[in-house]
Amino acid sequence: MKVDTHNKDQPDRKEALSRNYLIDLKLKAGLTTDLLASRIFLDRKNYYQLESGTRGHRMSAILYVRLAKELKVSVEELVRREAAYQRKRIKKGLSKEPLYSLKEEQSDEY
């Protein structure tokens, strides 16, 4: 009997939605994946999975602070972009997180 070992909490690689905003900010800051990963204390593989959308759907406050510093943006800007990213994941059926389903105009209240 074949056992299904697929983790149903993780999206399939073909269904993952990349965090293009992280890629764009990284390039704008003149950083490579290896350099950024080391500066925020993640190994390259984990950072790549974060960018590619295959992992890291609940980023910690510490990670936001480290990313903001290295990408030269505010934590607020990162949170706003991450919320938009999560809304896209919900629309594609990749997540059901209710917090990110706030309307855009409501996000300024938090």
Is residue 50 within 8 Å of 56, Cβ to Cβ? yes
At residue 102, the pLDDT reads 54
Calpha distance 77→55 (Å, rounded): 21
User: Per-residue confidence of the chain (110 residues) as pLDDT tens digits?
Assistant: 555 444 444 444 447 899 999 999 999 999 999 999 999 999 999 999 999 999 888 899 999 999 999 999 999 999 999 989 988 888 888 877 665 555 655 555 44
Residue 7 is predicted with a pLDDT of 47
What was the pLDDT predicted at 6?
Answer: 47
Which pTM does this prediction carry?
0.74
101/90 Cα distance (integer angstroms): 8
